[in-house]
């Protein structure tokens, strides 16, 4: 593929690893609207920790003029991607406070592409969406901004991201990539480009809508499975049996799916089902299973807080003005990402009881937590004693902690993640 010049729009958890990978073979311009993010990357550091600094530095070039056959240059100037001919959009697709899809980042990215795209160019979207967004929402914006005609002057595709934040084993090149294009020739071209760097191979979907739907059901399926075991946890707690022990026994059957109860946050599993639900409702269908799963998983933060308070009451620990330590705030273990973390729900519910909550997380950035949630998080332990300790996220650092030493005499240890020796905890999810 001669003369390929790739632009990746959005250099977050998805865009940066992809840009870095393509940069090993092609000249790549990474674009992000955040000036501080670009400055950080050009200094050779990735604060998301998705790309090791040494690996990032190995592909960086200091200016565009130095780019030849390969390399990565990051910028926040749209004019710098004007000479590219293959655009990949990797921006977030959140929901608003009403759980409705917020396509604002996609619209803005489409405007950026529309200002620079040229005849014969291809734009591929990776952001998680419901079927139809690429062709019905994004493409018209590009047409309007560029004055070009879709499938005549420029072409489009969709290749859903499959990044798992914090996972150093299943990296982007090791995960099979679904591809699609707006014409048969475009689909082949897009598949060829991705196949040139994805060692796990590719799967070419029959249409863009099929590829969009495939992505959104991946996380919806996982969401529903977790909701099922969360409901089981509530039932078994009432019965008085250990959910972990039940799941361990059931897992001895070869086809039992090993899902565990827990908090479902982040920018994928806790968000994507709402995109599929929205599209279904546009067609007059009210999804029952999908939204029931969302309601169950969204209820778990308050449920956990209630269980902690009940455990404290059983031990005659005064609840109001009690000091409780929450271990972990990010949405998953060994990852600094705090977007849509459901630990916030636990903290808020505990505070509603009049409890003083201290949050310790060695991975979360205090400034991010302060900005997004108005809470303070500690990166080091203070040495205080607490009426209760809640293990909310299983960071590797917590494995070495003597949990019982953190509580006051007769204090409570509650294990959300089910990863502490059951003899050391008072209750767990």
pLDDT given at position 29 = 97
pLDDT given at position 424 = 80
For residue 264, count CB atoms less than 10 angstroms from its CB and return exposed for 0-12, middle for 13-18, buried for 19 or more.
Answer: buried
Asked if pLDDT for residue 165 goes beyond 90, the answer is no
Tell me which residue of 127, 137, 128 sits closest to 90, measured CA to CA: 127
Mean pLDDT of all residues in 99-114? 94
pLDDT in tens, 224-267: 999 999 999 999 999 999 999 999 999 999 999 999 999 998 77
pLDDT in tens, 307-353: 999 999 999 999 999 999 999 999 999 999 999 999 999 999 999 99
pLDDT given at position 427 = 83
pLDDT given at position 426 = 84
Is the model more confident about 50 or about 167?
Answer: 50
pLDDT given at position 245 = 92
Fold of 6-215: Rossmann fold (3.40.50)
Is the model more confident about 165 or about 413?
Answer: 413
Asked about 268 being catalytic, the answer comes back as yes
pLDDT given at position 1 = 62
pLDDT given at position 221 = 93
Tell me which residue of 137, 192, 185, 136 sits closest to 159, measured CA to CA: 192
Mean pLDDT of all residues in 175-203? 97
d(CA 203, CA 201): 7
pLDDT given at position 201 = 95
Asked if pLDDT for residue 152 goes beyond 90, the answer is yes
d(CA 65, CA 67): 6
In percent, how much of the chain has pLDDT > 90?
81
Mean pLDDT of all residues in 138-153? 97
Q: Are 328 and 349 in contact (CB under 8 A)?
A: no
In percent, how much of the chain has pLDDT > 70?
100
pLDDT in tens, 26-66: 999 999 999 999 999 999 999 999 999 999 999 999 888 77
Q: Look over the chain and give the mean of its residue pLDDT values, rounded to a whole number.
A: 93
Please give the CATH number for the structural domain made up of 299-429: 3.40.50.720
Rg of the chain in Å (alpha carbons): 23
Q: How confident is the model at residue 423 (pLDDT cuts 50, 70, 90)?
A: confident
Q: Are 182 and 33 in contact (CB under 8 A)?
A: no
Helix extents (H) in 264-340: 272-282, 289-298, 300-314
Asked if pLDDT for residue 168 goes beyond 90, the answer is no
Q: How far is CA 413 from CA 104, 158, 243, 346, 362, in A?
A: 42, 46, 17, 15, 19
pLDDT given at position 318 = 94
Least-confidence region, from 59-68, 138-147, 206-215, 275-284: 59-68
pLDDT given at position 171 = 87
- The boundaries of every CATH 3.40.50.720 domain in the chain are 6-215, 299-429
Strand 6-9 versus strand 155-158 pairing type: unpaired
pLDDT given at position 409 = 87
Exactly one of 74, 90, 138, 268 is catalytic; name it. 268
- φ/ψ of 123, rounded to 5, equals -120, 130
Asked if pLDDT for residue 7 goes beyond 80, the answer is yes
């Amino acid at each position: 593929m001669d003369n390929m010049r790739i632009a990746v729009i959005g250099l977050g958890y998805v865009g940066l690893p992809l840009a870095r990978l393509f940069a090993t073979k092609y000249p790549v311009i990474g674009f992000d609207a955040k000036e501080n993010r670009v400055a950080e990357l050009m200094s050779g550091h990735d604060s998301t920790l998705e790309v090791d600094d040494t690996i990032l530095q190995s592909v960086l070039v200091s200016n565009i003029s130095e780019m030849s056959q390969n390399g990565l240059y990051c910028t926040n100037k749209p004019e710098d991607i004007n000479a590219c001919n293959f655009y990949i959009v990797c921006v977030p697709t959140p929901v608003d406070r009403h759980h409705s899809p917020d396509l604002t980042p996609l619209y803005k990215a489409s405007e950026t592409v529309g200002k620079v795209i040229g005849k014969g160019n291809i734009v591929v979207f990776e952001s998680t969406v419901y079927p139809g967004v690429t062709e019905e929402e994004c493409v018209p914006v590009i047409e309007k901004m560029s004055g070009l005609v879709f499938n005549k002057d420029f072409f489009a595709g969709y290749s859903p991201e499959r990044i798992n934040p914090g996972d150093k084993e299943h990296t982007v090149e090791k995960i099979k990539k679904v591809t699609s294009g707006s014409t048969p020739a475009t689909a082949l071209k897009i598949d060829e480009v991705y196949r040139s760097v994805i060692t796990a191979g590719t799967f070419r979907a029959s249409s863009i809508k099929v590829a969009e739907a495939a992505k959104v059901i991946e996380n919806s399926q996982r969401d529903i499975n977790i909701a099922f075991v969360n409901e089981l946890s509530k039932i078994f707690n009432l019965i008085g049996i250990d959910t972990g022990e039940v799941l361990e026994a059931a897992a001895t059957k070869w086809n039992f799916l090993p899902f565990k109860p827990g908090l479902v946050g982040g920018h994928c599993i806790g968000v994507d089902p709402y995109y599929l639900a929205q599209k279904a409702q546009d067609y007059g269908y009210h999804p029952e299973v999908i939204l029931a799963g969302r309601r169950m998983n969204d209820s778990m933060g308050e449920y956990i807080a209630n269980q902690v308070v009940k455990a404290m009451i059983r031990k005659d620990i005064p609840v109001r003005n009690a000091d409780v330590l929450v271990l972990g705030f990010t949405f998953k273990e060994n990852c600094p990402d705090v977007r849509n973390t459901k630990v916030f729900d636990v903290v808020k519910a505990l505070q509603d009881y009049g409890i003083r909550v201290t949050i310790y997380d060695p991975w979360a950035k205090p400034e991010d937590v302060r900005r997004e949630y108005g809470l303070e998080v500690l990166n080091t332990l203070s040495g205080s004693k607490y009426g209760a300790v809640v293990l909310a996220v299983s960071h590797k650092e917590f494995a070495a902690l003597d949990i019982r030493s953190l509580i006051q005499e007769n204090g409570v240890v509650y294990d959300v993640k089910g990863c502490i020796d059951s003899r050391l905890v008072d209750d767990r999810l």
